[in-house]
Amino acid sequence: MLLCVTVPDYALAVASLDDAAPRDADTPVLLADKRDRGRTIAVDAAAFRYGARIGQTIAQASAMVQGARVLVHDAARSRALWDDLLDALDAVTPLVDGEEPGVAFLEMTGVAGRPADHLARAHRAIGGFGLPVRVGFAANKFVARCAARAADGTICAEGAEAAFVADLPVGALDIDPRALSRLQLLGVRTLGALAALPHGPFVRRFGSAGATWHERARGIDRTPFLPRAHAVAIEAAIFGEGTAEVEAQVVFALRVLVDRVCADMECLGKRAGALAIELELENGEMRAREIGLAQPTAQARAMLDVLRANLEGATFEAPVVGLRVRALRLEEAGEALTLFRGAGEPDPQTIAVTIARLEAALGETAKRARGVRAYALEEQFAYAPFSASFETRPSVAPQDDTVGDEAGDEGGTLMPQLRLLEVEEIAVRIAGGAPSHVGSPPKAVLECAGPWRIEENWFSVPLARDEYDVLLEGGALYRIYRQGRKWYLRGSYD
Amino acid sequence: MFDYDYSPMSALASVSALKIDRFAAFSALKTELAARAEAARESTAERCFASGLPALDAVLGGGLLRGTLVALEGSSGRTAIAARLLARATATGLAAAIDTGELFPPALARAGVRLDRLLVVPATTALGIARAVDILLRSRAFAVVLMPAVALRGQVWARLAGLAQKAGAIVLALGTAGAELCAFAATRVRCALDRVLIAGANGVFTRLIGYDVRAQVLKHRFGRPGGEAVVRAMHRSGGAPVRERILARVALRAVGMV
């Protein structure tokens, strides 16, 4: 049996709660998504009567409702308050499903007491928040929600769901307005009338969604109850048990802590997606790092490899006297689906450790390139962090925007490759409007292609240059360009 | 007077028998050696990483050998061949490239390299490059590792060659190979431009659309060196007439490319 706790127009209720400005209880209230050029996302009953609707601009809604109070939605505040409310409901039962702000379901099966007692406990738990709360009790989510909407404290006895919802309007199903109007045109105005329709023809007419509507009209709801995960802290620390002056000692201590953390995660059935490590130095300084794992794991070996790779080559001003390791981004356990990884595909954890070692050794993170649509050569690509988890099966999808119809010639030909050289000014002699000699000492130009004009960024820092491909005596192929009166070397074909 | 265990006739018979035994033994030895050579050829073929360029694979005896150090030398065409090998590697797995600032990923993508499977490691110093390649090979996750042919000590090249063998990866070193790299590379290929392809009429419509690369195998530990292959690198001409500019090999020889 489920208890439904609902706060009608939750966002509007939170904004009204936080509104410190004095106003009459009858003053219409509008809730906008933002202050400047925002749109209404909620209106109260008074504003609705005057013609304000969701989706109107603030100006439109204010014109409809003279003297309305306009509030701005604070999503972070709404979410935080909702989390606090769910935490408070933990006092009623530990199984709380509250993914949607404004509606929470509590699993009361096995909790001692009568339904009326449960309703009273729920009111006591969240009464201090100052929000208008309605509570209902029924066997499934849909009926419990209808009970809460009907009136605060409504109880639907088990087995009486169909009779309970029979007189409710079809609007209680929260369906698409077009589908709703179609049902009303067909003369179906209550859930009881909908339930009386034959199931098969109804589903054929309205699709798979119609099957769900028909079931709910009969008081059946198969939506699963998904209780939220409780916040747990899994960490282990060593402080005041000596000093570690060499890397091997720190790694030894890390191994002990990682083993403890993994043991705790195993007990709770969790795995971590990241680790936080804090080192306290003898001079009082604290060094903290957050290290992401390629994929959530509870294996000590994988965690230790990543930690060790991150600390390779790290130097500290003083010996380490304290160490703390905390597991972050916890999720329900279950091993990674390595069964479904191909035999030749690398382990993402191995890649993550390799990237960590490269970063520790070189001081720069390894990355992957991606194409960017641009005309200037140096702007045609950008770099992004290399993700260890990726689809390694061959794909026929194009890789990036710059790959046109020239890519992937599997025959006996190659694709010309350009090597970008450091941009340097070069000496170029012109004859007949085209480069005739390049460089110092000058080399004759055997063939010249171009120019290709590139003009970009006229609105900020303008870029205007003429690019040429030149073949020099000696067999070298270069890309050069003229910008203003100067010539520059850009790349060579290799 | 003399008590011989054998008569001259029996001695003659035993010598004949000995000759027959030796002949049989020699035949058996030849058969054994042939079988072992065949087995070695088969195992080499399995370890070959084909470039997909028939001419080049033919002179390399099927392709480059996995688990070896390969030096791509010369002036032009090395990166084009390396891009083809990276494309083959990223089709089924991962590859890595050490970037000293000269990498141009859009051209690699046009050659078929999957950029989402190419790990780009920025490194500029010789020590940094060596450490990066060391880490990449130890992971055993990359089929091909591309690096510039920087000046490293022989011990470093020896270690990288050993790691490549254990990892079964190909390390492509692009650039002028020093004596140490020449010694430890299992394959050395020298590339040079043979001819340049031009499309379009003279003037602003002219486009340099490609070039022929002459690849000469200078060293091939598991095959026959000395072979030459000419491979074409070319964009699509878009229907415009294509003419060729043959680069004089006399001129190339003068600058030490041939």
Asked if the model's pLDDT at residue A337 lies above 80, the reply is no
Q: Give the C-alpha distances (Å, rounded to integers) separating A152 from A124, A132, A191.
A: 14, 10, 21
Mutate to test the interface with A, among B103, B208, B252 (most CBs of A within 10 A): B208
Q: What is the pLDDT of residue A392?
A: 45
SS3 letters for A446-468? EEEEEEEEEEECCCCCCEEEEEE
pTM: 0.59
Q: What is the mean pLDDT of chain A?
A: 84
Q: Please state which of the ranges A21-25, A143-147, A235-239, B109-113 shows the lowest mean pLDDT.
A: A21-25
Question: Tokens standing for A460?
Answer: 């900020």
pLDDT digits (tens, 9 = 90+) for B181-199: 999 999 999 999 888 888 8
- Kindly tell me the burial class for residue B158, based on how many C-beta atoms sit within 10 Å of its own C-beta (0-12, 13-18, 19 or more): middle
- Tokens 């000395």 — which residue? B226
By DSSP bridging, strand B118-122 and strand B94-99 are parallel
Query: How many other C-beta atoms are found inside a 10 Å radius of the C-beta of residue A270?
Result: 18
Q: Which of A6-15, B122-131, B246-255 has the lowest mean pLDDT?
A: B246-255
Residue A406 has pLDDT above 70, yes or no: no
Residue A427 to chain B, least CA–CA distance (Å): 21
Asked if the ipTM is above 0.90, the reply is no
Provide the residue type at A216 as one letter: R
In this predicted structure, what is the pLDDT of residue B44?
A: 62
Q: Which residues of B touch A467 (CB under 8 A)?
A: none
Mean pLDDT check: name the lowest of A242-256, A286-300, A408-422, B87-101. Answer: A408-422
Residues of chain B contacting residue A449, judged by C-beta atoms under 8 Å apart: 198, 200, 206-208
Q: Could you give the count of Cα atoms lying within 13 Å of A446 in the half-sphere of its Cβ?
A: 19
Write out pLDDT tens, residues A275-289.
999 999 888 888 898
Residue at token pair 């005309």 = A375
What residues of B are in contact with residue A380 (Cβ under 8 Å)?
106
In 3-state terms, what secondary structure has residue B243?
strand
Q: What is the side-by-side order of every strand in the sheet holding A134-138?
A: A96-97, A103-107, A2-6, A134-138, A154-155
Q: How far apart are CA B163 and CA B175, in angstroms?
A: 21
pLDDT at A184 (0 to 100): 87
Q: Is the pLDDT of residue A59 over 50?
A: yes
Contact residues for A441 (Cβ-Cβ < 8 A; gap 6+) = none
Q: Tell me the residue type at A358.
A: L
pLDDT > 90 in chain B, percent: 45
Candidates A358, A368, A406; nearest CB to B118 = A368
CB-nearest partner of A406 from B139, B236, B255: B236
Q: Determine which of A114-128, A392-406, B164-178, B225-239 has the lowest per-residue pLDDT on average.
A: A392-406
Query: Is 70 exceeded by the pLDDT of residue A410?
Result: no
Residues of A in contact with B251 (CB under 8 A): 473-475
Q: In this predicted model, what pLDDT tens digit does every residue of B218-235 receive, in sequence order?
A: 998 877 778 899 998 888
Interface test with B, best of A355, A414, A468 (most B CBs within 10 A): A414
pLDDT band at B257 (very low <50, low <70, confident <90, very high): very low
Could you please report the per-residue DSSP string of A288-349?
Answer: EEEEEEEEEE--HHHHHHHHHHHHTT---SS-EEEEEEEEEEEEE-----GGGS-TTSPPHH
In this structure, which amino acid lies at residue A308?
A: R
Q: For B13-50, what is each residue's pLDDT tens digit?
A: 555 666 668 888 888 888 888 888 777 666 666 678 88
Of the candidates B205, B138, B130, the one whose C-alpha atom is nearest the C-alpha of residue B167 is B138
Say what percent of chain B tops pLDDT 70: 81
For A477, the closest of B53, B208, B255 (CB atoms) is: B208
- Condensed to tens digits (0 to 9), the pLDDT of residues A342-389 reads 555 677 778 888 888 888 888 877 888 888 877 778 878 888 878 755
Given a cut of 90, whether residue A224 has pLDDT beyond it is no
At residue B8, φ and ψ (nearest 5 deg) are: -55, -35
Residue contact B206–A471, C-beta within 8 A: no
Of A481, A480, A476, which Cα lies nearest the Cα of A494?
A476
Helices B126-139 and B154-167, axial angle in degrees (round to 10): 20
CA distance B196 to B198: 7
Q: In angstroms, how far is the first alpha carbon of chain A from the final one? A: 73
Task: Give me the mean pLDDT over the B201-210 stretch.
Answer: 74
Find the radius of gyration of the CA atoms of chain A: 33
Peptide bond into A451 cis (omega under 30): yes
How confident is the model at residue A394, as a pLDDT?
43
Burial class of residue B190 in the structure, from the number of CB atoms within 10 Å of its CB (0-12 exposed, 13-18 middle, 19+ buried): buried
Residues with Cβ within 8 Å of B140's Cβ and at least 6 positions away in sequence, in order, are: A350, B166, B167, B168, B169
Rounded Cα gap, residues B64 and A10, in angstroms: 67
Confidence of residue A480 (pLDDT cuts 50, 70, 90): very high
Which range among A71-85, A309-323, A366-380 shows the weakest confidence by mean pLDDT? A366-380
Contact A265, A301 (CB under 8 A): no
- A30: tokens are 């509008």
Tokens linked to B62:
């099927």
Identify the H or E element spanning B160.
helix B154-167
